[in-house]
Amino acid sequence: MPRSALLESATKFLEAASVAQKWRTVRAIEGKLEKAMTKAFRAQGKAFSKGFASLQGEFSEALS
């Protein structure tokens, strides 16, 4: 195999390995972030529902 082809193959391999490592790192962070965001949005939904419940009588016309 010519030197330039070997160098090109090695470069592509290193790029692929680098991308794979990046995705492993991102996947771990993404999982933690997803759990944290789920918790935050659920808390936000509960707070919104609780606050909105006090206004329930104000919007009775919308229920008909």
Tens digits of residue pLDDT in 7-61? 999 999 999 899 888 999 999 999 999 999 999 999 999 999 888 888 877 776 6
Q: Give the DSSP letter string of 4-35.
A: HHHHHHHHHHHHHHHHHHHHHHHHHHHHHHHH
Q: What pLDDT band is residue 63 in, cutting at 50, 70 and 90?
A: low
C-alpha pair distances (Å), 26 with each of 19, 31, 33, 38, 39: 10, 9, 10, 18, 20
Q: What pLDDT band is residue 62 in, cutting at 50, 70 and 90?
A: low
Distance of alpha carbon 12 from alpha carbon 23, whole angstroms? 17
Q: What type of residue sits at position 11?
A: T
Radius of gyration of the chain (CA): 26
